[in-house]
Structure 1
Amino acid sequence: MKTIDKVNASLNDCIGDLLRKQSDNGSWEFCFEGSSIMTDAYMIILIRTLKWTNEEKLVMALVERIRSKQAPNGSWKVYTDEKESNLSATIEAYFSLLYSGYVTKDDANMLKAERFILDHGGLAKSDWLTKMMLALNGQIKWPTIVKSIPIEIMIIPKWAPINIYNLVGYARAHWIPIIVCSNLDTSVVHEQTPKLSHLPSREEKEEDHRLLDGLKILHHYVKNSVKKLASTPRELQRKAFKNAENYMLDRIEENGTLYSYFSASFFMIYSLMALGYDKDHPIIKNAFWGMKSYLCRNLSGAGDPIFVQNSPSTVWDTALLTGAIINAGVPVHNDAITKAGAYLLSRQHDKYGDWAVNNPDVPPGGWGFSDINTIVPDIDDTTAALRVVTVLAQSDGRYREAWNKGVRWLLSMQNDDGGWSAFEKNTDNYLLSLIPFRYEDRVLFDPSTADLTGRTLYFLGKYTTMSKDSEKIREAIKWLEHHQQEDGSWYGRWGNCYIYGTWAAVTGLKAVGVPSTDPMVGNAVNWLLSIQNRDGGWGESCSSDIRNHYVPLHHSTPSQTAWALDALIASSEKPTPQIEKGIHALTGLMEASDWRTEYPTGAAIPGGYYIHYHSYKYIWPLQTLGNYRNKYGS
């Protein structure tokens, strides 16, 4: 079969399948599945902590899912090829299973898990989020380096060199509840709480001293700053706790969750109880029901386990799928496109959020990730939605107004260095790396990234009439040029990882007129060709995100194959043998259903949390095959 015939057949099958899956409200509701069992474990822990006895079916379902993910050596992994398994995930699974009451420490699988934890250093060697959970549930003492972050940081003005708003919003939404609990030495323990005293929990002293050096500077700065305020220390502390409480309450979404995240809501519930809220308080109950609404089931077969999403990806999936379907040739007046457009229009933000702290003079106009997200817009969702809105705006004034608001907001969010970050503008105060958190540059802050910058350039070049010589575009190109790796790749923050960043950068550069003869593009193409698998596809390990260089998966995945191909198609006027081979690999992967199609290709916390988007096996192959046909097909 000719390549174009294979492309057409795959496109038709994919589009037909997607149109059948569209919801009545115009959206597509695919699962957002974290690679870790963290959310499942934390749900069990929360239900047991709150002593809510009417959730046994849910607890049993989550217990079964967690147990199904255990490796033969007793551990849990965060991604399939993780060589040493994952200590933090194993601790979270072990504790939650014990807390469920449906397993005991003497069960064979639990003894294996215990041995793995002991062999890898015990509780003391877990990551910080896991340690926070353990401290909240009385399994370890609050680490000194966390208790050293004073609650008074909540009353430091926003204009100060160090203040809580130096953190990006999603980090802030987690750390503020944690700071509240650590300052109050919160520990929620009752008769059903398991005891993990048989597992080592003390940090090595030299590590404490090394990390405390940074915290001492932060602590000294905060305490000296608040001394200048005309209040007693007790009054200042009371005000700081109140500010923390108000911060959380002001950012609760309509479904009860904090910032729309399961994980942030988990810590918020503990902090509200620490501040005196009863466990049956309506705010806590609403938060739980919002978190429970994130339950999802992979509908690929009967008996598939239920799991908890950290934040459903409905807006993201709908925007990308609608754009890909239009790109693949479905008419704009098709009922599916009309319904999807109306859904996206209804989800444009009209509220100010934390993004306005560093960008106060621009009205709202972006889009967020989740259906219930109203205050946390981001650059990626906004450009994805705007690509759909652009097409619909040609015949409908409502969409033209939305387009103007969205583009104005998008352009205003460009960082001073020329790039775009995900959520907030100019949050790159590396003084806050004094807070002891792994990968602080990628987790605490929101710096410009190649994926966000490239995808924004792609939108500006393809969907606006902005001059390619405009200052904003020139500055973004300079940013990409400055941040290209020596091997020709770019690091991608929110996808896995160098293939993702390189695809976004190349397609963005090409969209704004950078020729394929430019060294940036040429070096990137050569790098992509150098890592093509024998089967014609591409695949990258999550380990790349940890090691800060490309690590091959040695297998091909649909998303990564589509990303690499899309960059090559954008850069080549004619289909090359490598592109042809890649297209055949991609169409084959679209028909597969195994671990390769479920391998996480979305990124969140390096080394700790990656994402299997159930929509990605449709979105990116559909986009790439559409581009292939539009450029090379008859």
Structure 2
Amino acid sequence: MAWPAKPCTTILSFYPIETSMNPLFDTILSKAKEKLQKQFSEKGFYQGQLSSSALSTCLAVYSLWLEDPLSYQSIIQKGLSWLTENENPEGGWGDTIKSPSNLSTTLLVWSVFFAIQKKKHDRATLWLKTRIGSLDPQNIVSHVLEFYGKDRTFSAPILTCCMLSGSLGEKQELWHQIPQLPFELAAFPAKLFRLLGLQVVSYAIPALVAIGLVRHRLHPTPNKILRFVRCVVEKKVLKLLEKLQPPSGGFLEAIPLTAFVCMSLIKAGEKNSYVVKQAVAFLVSRARKDGSWAIDSNLNTWITSLALQALPQKDIPPHQKESLKSWLLNQQFQEKHPFTQSPPGGWGWTDLPGRLPDGDDTSGALLALHSLVEERQEVIMAIQKGIQWLLMLQNRDGGMPTFCKGWSKLPFDKSCPDITAHAMSAFLAWKKDMPGHLQKAMNRSLSKAISYLQKNQNAEGSWFPLWFGNALAADTQNPVYGTSKVVYALASLESDKAHTLWIKGCEWLASVQNEDGGWGGGQGIKSSIEETSLAIKALSTAKAKYQDSLHRGLEYLIEKTKQGESFEPSPIGLYFSQLWYFEEMYPVLFAISAMEEAKTSCCLA
């Protein structure tokens, strides 16, 4: 450990591990379960509440303003008012109301205010000047491109929105600075996408088409041959966009992606297209009463899977078990997905039609069903399909990506330790129920996954996750989340290599515990309920070895939750292309999961 833990002198220490449970522990756990139960829908799932997003709100407002400023005047004004009320004290905006101001969100809000109100927002202007030194358009462009690097998934849409709004000026030559996404490549068969070197991630084909098309129509390339090719494929890629749009109208159920597509098509002269009409209807339907929008419609499948993994079976009423099982099975994909060409068998994060099958949610659903269903044969066919889907997803490096195998050029398409660990846990839970050939395939997969985790363990013993971070960290990474997930999975493996990795991961987790007893995203980062809970759950796999650290962590939860009365969420979630969010149910779910794990360990036996 980096520093020795203080002797445990908290309330919990007065209850020796061999005696009865601390009553405050029971109180918090009971209250957390009560909060979770209130989120149960009679339709058969647990529902959460995503944080409102300044970025989503400004993009939705601008899209509706472009569509019809009079018809949507009320909703536009409510959105602008929400943005004004939730501006940070220094004049910028973060991704959530709990987030520090950042360049991307502030730049977009600033641009939208300029487009609609025809004047620059003074406080945001000052923040931007302080942040990047100058509002010269070329300087703005260079800072955005530098931040996102080779991945154009977000940089191209952000800069395109700025150009369309007029905030960068009226000079047409400025379009030379904006990346031209090669939308013509979308005309190729989808199975070739990963081989074409696209500048956007696997799930962002709608952005590739819409953002690329508006750039082409407003400022086409001087290359006559390429310009001709793009003109020829325009109709084909617009048809593709219509085919990819789900019945809800929202691409991936994501407000930012749908708004970027909507505004780009309107400015490209496609205002009357079916895609725009559907996208506008989606944006209107997702507006909240306070005038804001979230980043996505919901995370119902993910929240439900987390809930079922956290709760003991005895805490789920019998009538709810059946509806939960039916609902969860109904979320499994039964057909090839048009976006990613992914085969049937996976699960996505929501129950809505814009979802994609992904590795994290598929593993979560498999583990949830394992916790929920006693008669395995009832669900065995669905489970086999899910296992096979994960086996096909695994990359050559042994790790698990999020959506597609082999898309390894951009960060959000690469293998990642946390999703790899989640899949390993799913395999371990179901392996003995699978036929022999699948057990052998799962064993090979587990072996490759362990090697991947060994190669990607940081020198000090931690792992970095992909879809979670910590904005307070200098590099925005969250090794506590990543390491906790990996350590928990490795604890169930009977392998010397896995055991060595597990020990090193546990030691690192214990070494970065904060003075207040909690954990943040890493060494010295402010503690949160979510990160503390994750670390407690992981270290509980070591039984009595980290008893003092566990007691101190549990004491932190008692104090931080005000003895179960308040579960304040933290913005540790990362959405597409580093967009932060918090989920109201994460601290509740993570705390339940951690405390239930601690109950079964020597810590509180």
Counterpart of 2:533 in structure 1 is: 562
Cα distance 1:80–1:65, how it changes in 2: closer, same or farther (>3 A)?
closer
Separation of aligned partners in 2, 1:166 and 1:513: 41
| 1:498 lines up with 2:479 in the alignment | yes
**Structure 2 residue corresponding to 1:163, chosen from 196, 213, 221:** 196
Tell me if structure 2 keeps the 8 A contact 1:506–1:521. yes
User: Residue 9 of structure 1 is aligned with which of 27, 44, 47?
Assistant: 27
User: In the alignment, what sits opposite 2:262?
Assistant: 269
* 8 A contact 2:569–2:582 mirrored in 1: yes
Rate the CA distance shift 1:467–1:375 in 2: closer, same or farther, 3 A: same
Equivalent residues in 2 for 1:460-475, closer than 5 Å: 460-465=427-432, 466=439, 470-475=443-448
Distance 1:313 1:112, change over 3 A: same
Q: Which residue of 2 aligns with 1:86?
A: 102
Secondary structure of the residue aligned to 1:407 is: helix
The residue aligned with 2:318 is 334
The 8 Å contact of residues 313 and 370 in structure 1, kept in 2 or not, is answered as yes
The question of 1:450 aligning with 2:417 is answered yes
1:44-73 alpha-carbon deviations (Å, 9 max, x no partner) = 111211124233332233223212222223
- The normalised TM-score by structure 1 is 0.78
Deviation at 1:93, TM superposition (A): 2.1
| Alignment equivalent of 2:277, drawn from 285, 306, 309 | 285
1:513-569 deviation line (CA, Å, top 9, x unaligned) = 3469933222222221221111110112xxxxxxxxx5643x211111111111111
Q: Secondary structure at the match of 2:534?
A: helix
Aligned length: 550
Q: What is the aligned counterpart of 1:367 among 329, 347, 351? A: 347
- Which of 565, 569, 574 pairs up with 1:603? 574
Q: Give the aligned residue type for 1:564.
A: A
Shift of 1:274: 5.2
**Mapped partners of 2:600, 2:533: distance in 1:** 15
Distance in structure 2 (CA, Å) of the matches to 1:132 and 1:594: 45
Amino acid at match of 2:348: G
Distance across 1 between alignment mates of 2:226 and 2:581 = 44
Taking the aligned partners of 2:47 and 2:583, their CA distance within structure 1 comes to 11
Q: 1:412 to 1:615 in 2, by over 3 A?
A: same
Partner letter of residue 70 of structure 1? E
1:620 deviation in Å?
Answer: 0.8
Q: Matched residues in 2 for 1:138 and 1:472: separation? A: 52
Among 525, 537, 540, the alignment partner of 2:506 is 525
Percent sequence identity over matched residues?
A: 20
Q: Distance in 2 between matches of 1:340 and 1:56?
A: 41
Tell me if the contact between 1:87 and 1:117 (Cα under 8 Å) persists in the aligned partners.
yes
- Tell me how far 1:477 sits from its aligned partner: 0.2
Q: Distance in 2 between matches of 1:349 and 1:597?
A: 34
2:186 & 2:128 partners in 1: Cα distance? 36
Which range moves more in the overlay, 593-602 or 169-178?
593-602
Contact 1:528 1:564 in 2 (8 A): yes
1:487 matched to 2:460? The reply is: yes
1:348 alignment partner, SS class: coil
Q: Which residue of 2 aligns with 1:322?
A: 308
Retained in 2: the 8 A contact 1:461–1:511? yes
Partner deviation per Cα, 1:423-450 (whole Å, 9 max, x = no partner): 111111x3xxxxxxxxxx324xx11101
CA distance in structure 2 between the aligned counterparts of 1:40 and 1:80, rounded to whole angstroms: 12
Q: In structure 2, what is the Cα distance between the partners aligned to 1:389 and 1:423?
A: 21
Which segments of 5 or more consecutive residues in structure 2 lack a partner in the other structure? 1-10, 16-20, 145-154, 433-438, 470-477
Provide the residue aligned with 1:585 in structure 2.
556
SS in 2 for 1:499: helix
Determine the structure 2 residue equivalent to 1:215: none
**Cα shift readout 1:168-197 (whole Å, capped 9, x = no counterpart):** 32233322221111111279xxxxxxxxxx
Query: Residue 48 of structure 2 contacts residue 299 of structure 2 at CA under 8 Å; is this kept in 1?
Result: yes
Q: 2:240 aligns with which of 221, 236, 247?
A: 247
Match of 1:184 among 185, 195, 217: 217
Partners of 1:375 and 1:605 in 2: how far apart? 13
The answer to whether the 8 A contact 2:493-2:499 is kept is no
Distance 1:356 1:169 in 2: 7
Is the contact between residue 355 and residue 423 of structure 1 (CA under 8 Å) also seen in structure 2? no
Q: Structure 2 residue aligned with 1:408, among 381, 388, 400?
A: 388
Q: What is the alpha-carbon distance in structure 2 between the residues aligned to residue 405 and residue 287 of structure 1?
A: 33
* Residue in structure 2 matched with residue 476 of structure 1 by the alignment: 449
Residue 244 of structure 1 and its aligned partner are, at CA, apart by 2.2
The aligned counterpart of 1:346 is 330
| Inter-partner Cα distance in structure 2 for 1:77 and 1:617 | 21
Between the aligned partners of 2:114 and 2:198, the Cα distance in structure 1 is: 38
1:307 aligned onto 2:300: no
Matched, 1:510 2:491: yes
Matches within 5 A, 1:199-218: none
Is the Cα contact below 8 Å between 2:182 and 2:212 reproduced in 1?
Answer: yes
Where do residues 404-443 of structure 1 align in structure 2 (5 Å cutoff)?
404-428=384-408, 430=409, 441-443=410-412
Asked whether the equivalents of residues 211 and 260 of structure 2 are also in contact (C-alpha less than 8 Å), the reply is yes
Instruction: Indicate how the Cα distance of structure 1 residues 396 and 100 shifts in structure 2: closer, same or farther if over 3 A, else same.
Output: farther
Aligned partner of residue 516 in structure 2, secondary structure: coil
Aligned to 2:163: 135
In 2, distance between residues paired with 1:575 and 1:467? 35
Deviations 1:282-316 (A, max 9, x none): 4322212222333347xxxxxx7743333421111
Report the RMSD for the aligned CA atoms in angstroms. Answer: 3.3
Distance 1:244 1:377, change over 3 A: same
Cα 1:615–1:514, aligned 2, differ >3 Å: closer, same or farther?
farther
Whether contact under 8 Å (1:256, 1:289) holds in the other structure is yes
Partner of 2:75: 58
Shift of 1:356: 5.6
User: How much does 1:455 deviate?
Assistant: 1.1
> Which whole-Å CA distance do the structure 1 matches of 2:55 and 2:281 have between them?
18
Matching residue within 28, 43, 61 for 2:46: 28
Which residues of structure 1 form unaligned runs of 5+? 188-218, 298-303, 431-440, 541-549
Secondary structure, aligned partner of 1:94: helix
CA distance in 2, matches of 1:531, 1:337: 39
Q: In 2 relative to 1, CA 16–155 (structure 1 residues): closer, same or farther, beyond 3 Å? A: closer
Give the drift of 1:21. Answer: 2.4
Amino acid at match of 2:176: T
Q: Which letter does structure 1 place at the counterpart of 2:88?
A: A
Change (3 A) 1:175 1:585: same
Describe how 1:92-111 pairs up with structure 2 within 5 A: 92-101=108-117, 105=120, 110-111=121-122
CA deviations on 1:101-123 (whole Å, 9 max, x unpaired) are 4x965xxxx32222222333225
Query: Residue 610 of structure 1: SS of its match in structure 2?
Result: strand
Q: In structure 1, the residue corresponding to 2:51 is in which secondary structure?
A: strand
Q: 400-409 vs 516-525, which deviates more?
A: 516-525
Question: In 2, Cα distance between the equivalents of 1:161 and 1:537?
Answer: 42
Bigger shift: residues 516-525 or 408-417:
516-525
Partner of 2:5: none
AA aligned opposite 1:613: E
Structure 2 CA distance for aligned equivalents of residues 267 and 104 of structure 1: 22
The aligned residue for residue 57 of structure 2 is: 40
SS in 2 for 1:448: coil
Which residue number corresponds to residue 123 of structure 2?
A: 112
In the alignment, residue 620 of structure 1 is paired with which amino acid?
F
Moved more, 507-516 or 495-504: 507-516
Q: How has the CA–CA distance of structure 1 residues 162 and 425 changed in structure 2, closer, same or farther, with 3 Å as cutoff? A: closer
Alignment-derived partner of residue 195 in structure 1:
none
Measure the CA separation in 2 of the matches of 1:599 and 1:143.
Answer: 38
